[in-house]
Amino acid sequence: MSKPSIPQGTRDFSPAEVRRRQFIFNTLRSIFELYGFQPLETPSMENLVTLTGKYGEEGDRLIFKILNNGLHEKKDAEREKLNGEWNNILSRSYSSPVVTERALRYDLTIPFARYVVMHQNDIALPFRRYQMQPVWRADRPQKGRYREFWQCDADVVGSTSLINEAELLCIYQQAFQKLNVPVTIKINSRKLLAALSELCGMSEKMMDITIAMDKLDKIGWVGVANELKERGISEDGIWQIERVINVTGTNEEKLVAFSDIMQHSPSGMEGINELSKTLAFYNELDPTASFKTTGQDTNIQIDISLARGLNYYTGVIVEVVCSHPDVKMGSIGGGGRYDDLTGLFGLKGVSGVGVSFGIDRICDVMEELKAFPEQLAEGTKAMLVNFGGENETYALQILQQLRTANIPAEIYPDASKFDKQMKYANRRGIAYVLLPGDEERQKNMVSVKNFVTGEQKMMSIAETIVLLSH
Amino acid sequence: MSKPSIPQGTRDFSPAEVRRRQFIFNTLRSIFELYGFQPLETPSMENLVTLTGKYGEEGDRLIFKILNNGLHEKKDAEREKLNGEWNNILSRSYSSPVVTERALRYDLTIPFARYVVMHQNDIALPFRRYQMQPVWRADRPQKGRYREFWQCDADVVGSTSLINEAELLCIYQQAFQKLNVPVTIKINSRKLLAALSELCGMSEKMMDITIAMDKLDKIGWVGVANELKERGISEDGIWQIERVINVTGTNEEKLVAFSDIMQHSPSGMEGINELSKTLAFYNELDPTASFKTTGQDTNIQIDISLARGLNYYTGVIVEVVCSHPDVKMGSIGGGGRYDDLTGLFGLKGVSGVGVSFGIDRICDVMEELKAFPEQLAEGTKAMLVNFGGENETYALQILQQLRTANIPAEIYPDASKFDKQMKYANRRGIAYVLLPGDEERQKNMVSVKNFVTGEQKMMSIAETIVLLSH
């Protein structure tokens, strides 16, 4: 028999890992609920036609497709068709419903849009939903990139108010504060990027400019300028862009400078207005009372070079990075406004705005920063040693009382050698070991050993419960 | 554009449904943790070889297989092999790793066994784990049967102590009590079923006898007797079985009667001993203090006709059914001891015992019984009406204070018509609507409308917070 293994790019989560991940999910869930967002879950499988064509050609290639069942039951005539479709698959055609009609969820956004369209008569707009589920991509696995990973999205559809943008900023702020992860939240508007291309007199080059600007962090201004040149931006255009990128200062100072540079661009002024209103709303709602967006002392920063890859964004965009100097990690969250996502499924004119949390990366950052609460490590607070016979019965009675007092506890189920039982408790990291031996039983007490300090003391069950309840 | 839809047998879970399911998951999680069980999660995908051959031929057929990616990139020589394997798939061969090397999880038991074997050096035995995840089966969908559904299992491996059986009974008892679902827990031992076949002088017929007995509830004794005859059990054998089935009374009375009938069968006496010890341990641990297994007044009942389908059980087996007279639903939980599950993956001699909760059925039963807490329906406690302008800013300030006081609240993000905003709050089922108009703002107060009673009253923000904090 060969050794069992799991597919490349997937993970088992050990008890300690599940607890850490649950901590993140619960923290986010409580914040989403506080902001009036409602939970939604969609199936792991979607019809393949729902997914294809939504993520670009590369995306189509990375969707995990499920083989139809019962293929061997097909009649001869159908088999001919099947074989034809099989040949199509081999020669680069991806959606052959007779071979594969279902596929695994690739992100949470398309299923959400599909849900809104299917349930447009049941849901009250504006609809605020959050969703925390795994997604699957057949990407080449590498450090921090998995084939099964978790997304966590919060979106509002059916409202164009910038209050939504401000609330999502608050959610980011409050979530990372609760998770003990120091962050910088970068904010921009796609309309400013559009204005930049107008400034260059090359509106049609917006995507080229965006793609080049997005690399500012990695390759610096000289690199970006070269790329802009290669992408056909004029000398004057590059100079205009440099002028905008060189704007520094507080958010207010940046907005003033942009207003000056972009005063003749309607989309520029719109973008400036969006950012300025979003920040004003945010300042009224600020949940932390310590991160107003004015002055030097804020972690929400306008960054004109922020582009966010996805084409469907049309307004304000945001990105979250960990600001701790020791942490080298890309974005751990991001989002923005999209004007017509449900249009993909035939429902036009529903604007939306959303943010996403990169659960796996957040988990990695928190481990690096030791940001998880210590008591998460082990659920069981106390283990009763099993001395067998009457002492076993006595131990069960104590156990029952501990659990009635809501103290997570267990008994070593077999009356094994003492050393073996202690070794088990030690490996599990259980804080207290309770020793119900003959003497203890006769006195109706129990010896309690603190595994950390090594201290041991005989006490009543009531005292034990008080001790363990902390 | 065709209307979007989801695959047959899968479900979207609306906000209200997610909340109800979360309530079940959280209840079970808290009980598992109280009993020292640790959470585990395994990938949705397993290598197909891990799953095939574990669930019988029917099971193999129902496993969802994932098409390998990048098939079109294969070289010509590989294509020939691919085509050959494709033909194998069409002619009933299910595991062709060049076409499909991964498959979706079919249950939680095999992945657990696989995990234990892979991590045998990292985990401390006995290992108690719980796992709550979806599984996928290509079964024909029907009422109560889905292609994506949730299992929730708790198992202990590495200990043969019957304390484990007793603790799992406690978990069932406490879980269904917390979920407000009245249940009967049937208990039996596979060893008693083995003894029955010995009594008939036909040990090799144990499975036949088991399969027939399992139908007692559905077809009555006459039906079972006929089936036994058809399956080749002798007249005397059928009489012996009838004698055992006719035993009634309390659990103690049944055990006494069985001891009398089976006194010459070693496996019979072993089975009786197992049941008797399990119930004795249970009575020490009983978490409800109301369901001791002695006398008439217990919901844990020895049922010699209980068989449980799965072949791998070897000792005590249990099954949970809802005992409410209005609820017609099969088993909502079940489990038992299996002696060598990890042997499938090369690790011999690890005994285990586990129970499973049928989440989807439990959810259905709870809806039927209206057993869910009422406040689950809606997360948001209060909605602020948006009157625009200065009143909007004032509303945001109130909103910030509500959330700081941990009250889930939202603002209608657009300054739409009053009626539209009220209609939204009503459709959402939000309990309170807050009206921050000119007068309220000038007085630094807010009008609070109770949507249930229709009452409306102007009060200070502090008073509002007190009201909404209940």
* CA pair distance B149, B367, nearest whole angstrom: 17
Contacts of A101 in chain B (CB under 8 A): 7
Which CATH number belongs to the domain containing residue A173 in this structure?
3.30.930.10
Give the pLDDT mean for B216-242: 90
Which parts of B326-468 fold into alpha helices (H)?
A: 359-369, 389-404, 418-428, 438-443, 461-468
Residue B297: predicted pLDDT: 78
Contacts of B424 in chain A (CB under 8 A): 124-126
Same domain, A200 and A334: yes
Q: Who's near A444: CB < 8 A, 6+ residues apart?
A: A460, A461
Contacts of B1 in chain A (CB under 8 A): 345-346
Question: Quick one: how far is CA A409 from the chain centroid?
Answer: 33
Q: Please report, to the nearest 10 degrees, the dihedral formed by the alpha carbons of residues A415, A421, A422, A427 taken in order.
A: -160
Residue A27: predicted pLDDT: 97
Does residue B99 form part of some domain? Answer: no
Same domain, A452 and A327: no
Yes or no: say if B185 and B299 are a contact pair by the CB < 8 Å rule.
yes
Which residue of A lies nearest to B156 if distances are taken between CA atoms?
A: A413
Same domain, A197 and A277: yes
- Among B79, B163, B404, the residue with its CB nearest the CB of A287 is B404
Pairing mode of beta strands A183-189, A65-66: unpaired
Which CATH number belongs to the domain containing residue A429 in this structure?
3.40.50.800
Q: What are phi and psi of A282, to 5 degrees?
A: -55, -45
DSSP per residue, B178-234: HTT--EEEEEEEHHHHHHHHHHTT-GGGHHHHHHHHTTHHHHHHHHHHHHHHHTT--
pLDDT tens figures, B269-290: 999 999 999 999 999 998 776 6
Which residue of B lies nearest to A381 if distances are taken between CA atoms?
A: B36
Looking at the structure of chain A, the number of domains it has is 2
Give the pLDDT mean for B217-241: 90
Taking the CA atoms of B436, B442, B445 and B448 in sequence, report the sign of the dihedral they define: negative
Lowest-confidence segment of A309-318, A455-464, B37-46, B323-332 by average pLDDT: A309-318
* CA pair distance A67, A167, nearest whole angstrom: 42
Residue B95: predicted pLDDT: 66
CB half-sphere exposure, B382, CA atoms < 13 A: 32
Domain boundary among A350, A369, A388: A369
Does residue B70 form part of some domain? Answer: no
Does residue A73 form part of some domain? Answer: no
- Among A72, A124, A424, the residue with its CB nearest the CB of B89 is A72
Instruction: Say how many CB pairs under 8 Å bridge A and B.
Output: 292
Domain boundary among B309, B338, B369: B369
CB half-sphere exposure, A46, CA atoms < 13 A: 26
* CA pair distance B103, A7, nearest whole angstrom: 10
Distance from CA of B421 to the nearest CA of A (A): 10
Same domain, B175 and B298: yes
- Among A13, A39, A148, the residue with its CB nearest the CB of B15 is A39
- Among A72, A345, A386, the residue with its CB nearest the CB of B1 is A345
Has residue B72 got a pLDDT over 90?
A: no
Residue A65: predicted pLDDT: 94
Does residue B295 form part of some domain? Answer: yes
Give the pair of three-digit tokens for residue B148.
């994506």
Does residue A92 form part of some domain? Answer: no
Q: Percent of chain B, pLDDT > 70?
A: 97
Q: What are phi and psi of B164, to 5 degrees?
A: -60, -45
Same domain, A159 and A253: yes
Give the pair of three-digit tokens for residue B427.
């459709």
Inter-chain residue contact A7 with B41, CB threshold 8 Å: no
Q: What would the 3-class secondary structure string for chain A be?
A: CCCCCCCCCCCCECHHHHHHHHHHHHHHHHHHHHCCCEECECCCEEEHHHHCCCCHHHHHHHCCEECCCCHHHCCHHHHHHHHHHHHHHHCCCCCCCCCCCEEECCCCHHHHHHHHHHCCCCCCCCEEEEEEEEEECCCCCECCECCEEEEEEEEEECCCCCHHHHHHHHHHHHHHHHCCCCEEEEEEEHHHHHHHHHHCCCHHHHHHHHHHHCCHHHHHHHHHHHHHHHCCCCHHHHHHHHHHHCCCCCHHHHHHHHHHHCCCCHHHHHHHHHHHHHHHHHHHHCCCCCCCCCCCCCCEEECCCCCCCCCCEEEEEEEEEECCCCCCCCCCEEEEEECCCHHHHCCCCCCEEEEEEEHHHHHHHHHHCCCCCHHHCCCCCEEECCCCHHHHHHHHHHHHHHHHCCCCEEECCCCCCHHHHHHHHHHHCCCEEEECCHHHHHHCEEEEEECCCCCEEEEEHHHHHHHHCC
Yes or no: say if A129 and A40 are a contact pair by the CB < 8 Å rule.
yes
- How confident is residue B402, by pLDDT bands cut at 50, 70 and 90? very high
Which residue of B lies nearest to A112 if distances are taken between CA atoms?
A: B12
Determine the longest span between alpha carbons in chain A, in angstroms: 93
- Among B13, B404, B424, the residue with its CB nearest the CB of A124 is B424
Does residue B423 form part of some domain? Answer: yes
Contacts of B407 in chain A (CB under 8 A): 34
Length of chain A in terms of residues written = 470
Residue B94: predicted pLDDT: 60
Same domain, A400 and A351: no
Same domain, A409 and A362: no
Give the pLDDT mean for B327-352: 91
Does residue A86 form part of some domain? Answer: no
Same domain, B444 and B395: yes
Domain boundary among A334, A369, A404: A369
Does residue A429 form part of some domain? Answer: yes
Element (H, E) at B155: strand B148-157
Contacts of A379 in chain B (CB under 8 A): 33, 36-38
Which residue of B lies nearest to A428 if distances are taken between CA atoms?
A: B124
Does the complex come out with an ipTM higher than 0.85?
Answer: yes
Inter-chain residue contact A156 with B64, CB threshold 8 Å: no
Same domain, A275 and A402: no
Distance from CA of B31 to the nearest CA of A (A): 9
DSSP per residue, B326-364: T-----SEEEEEES-SGGGGT--S--EEEEEEEHHHHHH
Distance from CA of A85 to the nearest CA of B (A): 12
Inter-chain residue contact A1 with B345, CB threshold 8 Å: yes
> Which of A17, A34, A360 would you mutate first to test chain B, the one with the most B CBs within 10 A?
A34
Q: In 3D, which of B411, B395, B367, B370 has the Cα closest to residue B461?
A: B395
- How confident is residue B398, by pLDDT bands cut at 50, 70 and 90? very high
Question: Quick one: how far is CA A335 from the chain centroid?
Answer: 11
Which residue of A lies nearest to B10 if distances are taken between CA atoms?
A: A43
Pairing mode of beta strands A38-39, A127-136: parallel
> Which of B161, B342, B348, B426 would you mutate first to test chain A, the one with the most A CBs within 10 A?
B161
Same domain, A358 and A276: yes
Has residue B291 got a pLDDT over 90?
A: no
pLDDT tens figures, B207-226: 888 888 888 888 999 999 99
Given a cut of 50, the residues of chain A with pLDDT beneath it are none
Contacts of B34 in chain A (CB under 8 A): 403, 406-409
Residue B310: predicted pLDDT: 63
pLDDT tens figures, B152-200: 999 999 999 999 999 999 999 999 999 999 999 999 999 999 998 888 8
pLDDT tens figures, B444-470: 999 999 988 999 999 999 999 999 997
Has residue B90 got a pLDDT over 90?
A: no
> Which of A12, A89, A127 would you mutate first to test chain B, the one with the most B CBs within 10 A?
A12
Contacts of A22 in chain B (CB under 8 A): 39
Same domain, A412 and A387: yes
Same domain, A277 and A138: yes
Name beta bridge partners: A319. A186, A334
Which residue of A lies nearest to B407 if distances are taken between CA atoms?
A: A34
Residue B307: predicted pLDDT: 85
Distance from CA of A333 to the nearest CA of B (A): 23
The range of the structural domain enclosing residue B184 comes to 15-64+106-369
